[in-house]
Amino acid sequence: MDQFLGGTLTPLRREIVRLGVVTSTQAIAFEMAEQGAADGTVVVADTQTAGRGRRGRMWHDAPGDNLLISIVIRPRLNVADLPKLSLAAAVAVAEAIAFATGLQARLKWPNDVLVNGRKLAGILLESRIVAEPVVVVGIGVNLRQRTFPAELAETATSVDLEGGRTVECEELLEAVLVAFERWRRALEREGFAALRARWLSLADTIGRAVTVGEHAGVAVDLAEDGALVLRQEAGLQRVVAGEMTASFPR
């Protein structure tokens, strides 16, 4: 694993809570955080009955065939910078997939992980600010799942379907956690520059004609605040949130 981290590993001390059937690992991670769970606590489940996706969608899984995790973060970041943790997670997941399966993973803004233009992993960042901010980063990776609901049939994929090296959940979990720890610490200690450069090097989005909400243009950059920068006839347009679609087939 040193290979993709470019350094010596020190064992990370973290609690990993392994569960069978849950509603959502996100819900459990927030409950645990409320009860004082330490920074870096991880919840892993075999299957979810109410898995949460971005923008209020459901996240489907095939029991036992997906990596489903939530990580409790007690961030050392300004509130405005918290969304960058989802970019850190996206980079970490792409690196871990490449390392563990040999597949070339790419990133679709802000944090979908694609292989051959189809979504293989999704990331959901949720935060609650009571006395101190708590962030839960949820990650779902399709490993052995071979069929998807009809509405996802054209856009979703898995390690198996893409012909990646077979990887056990535990192995991929470890790779994701190590890579995420590295990018999270880089963001907290050194700022966004290295993470931004790495995200751009993995981006599938840059150079494409895209639509995000009411904004259309060619994606040209990732701004200092994590916004996507579009080039339009009238000039540059920053987009901070929304669902992105490429305006031509992949």
Are the C-beta atoms of 120 and 162 separated by less than 8 Å?
A: yes
Query: How is the beta sheet containing 66-73 ordered, strand by strand?
Result: 16-22, 42-48, 66-73, 133-142, 118-129, 112-115, 105-108
Residue that has been written with the tokens 């050392």 in this structure: 76
Kindly state the smallest distance separating residue 231's Cβ from ligand BTN, in Å.
26
Kindly state the smallest distance separating residue 120's Cβ from ligand BTN, in Å.
11
Q: Is there binding between residue 122 and ligand BTN (CB under 6 A)?
A: yes
Kindly state the smallest distance separating residue 213's Cβ from ligand BTN, in Å.
17
Tokens of 187: 């963001």
Nearest CB to ligand BTN, comparing residues 191 and 242 = 242
Q: Which 3-32 positions form the footprint of ligand BTN (CB under 6 A)?
A: 24-26
Rounded to whole angstroms, how far apart are CA atoms 164 and 80? 37
Q: Beta strands of 130-187 (E only): which ranges?
A: 133-142
* Residue 206 DSSP SS3: coil
Give CB contacts under 8 A, 24+ apart, made by 144-153: 144/62, 144/64, 144/65, 144/66, 145/61, 145/62, 145/65, 145/66, 146/62, 147/62, 148/60, 149/60, 152/60
Given candidates 40, 83, 110, 140, which one binds ligand BTN under the rule CB under 6 A?
A: 140
Nearest CB to ligand BTN, comparing residues 119 and 196 = 119
Nearest CB to ligand BTN, comparing residues 103 and 123 = 123
Nearest CB to ligand BTN, comparing residues 112 and 162 = 112
Q: Which 93-112 positions form the footprint of ligand BTN (CB under 6 A)?
A: 112
Stretch that binds ligand BTN, among 32-40, 90-98, 137-145, 161-169 (CB under 6 A): 137-145
Q: Which residue is nearest to ligand BTN (CB)?
A: 122
Q: Which 175-234 positions form the footprint of ligand BTN (CB under 6 A)?
A: none
Kindly state the smallest distance separating residue 35's Cβ from ligand BTN, in Å.
18
Q: Is there binding between residue 158 and ligand BTN (CB under 6 A)?
A: no
Stretch that binds ligand BTN, among 10-18, 132-140, 192-200, 222-230 (CB under 6 A): 132-140
* Residue 28 DSSP SS3: helix
**How many residues in total does the chain contain?**
250
Rounded to whole angstroms, how far apart are CA atoms 115 and 94? 9
Stretch that binds ligand BTN, among 8-16, 134-142, 169-177, 197-205 (CB under 6 A): 134-142
Given candidates 37, 40, 41, 51, which one binds ligand BTN under the rule CB under 6 A?
A: 51
Residue that has been written with the tokens 């849950």 in this structure: 22
Q: Which residues bind ligand BTN (CB under 6 A)?
A: 24-26, 48, 51-54, 57, 59, 68-70, 112, 122-124, 138-140
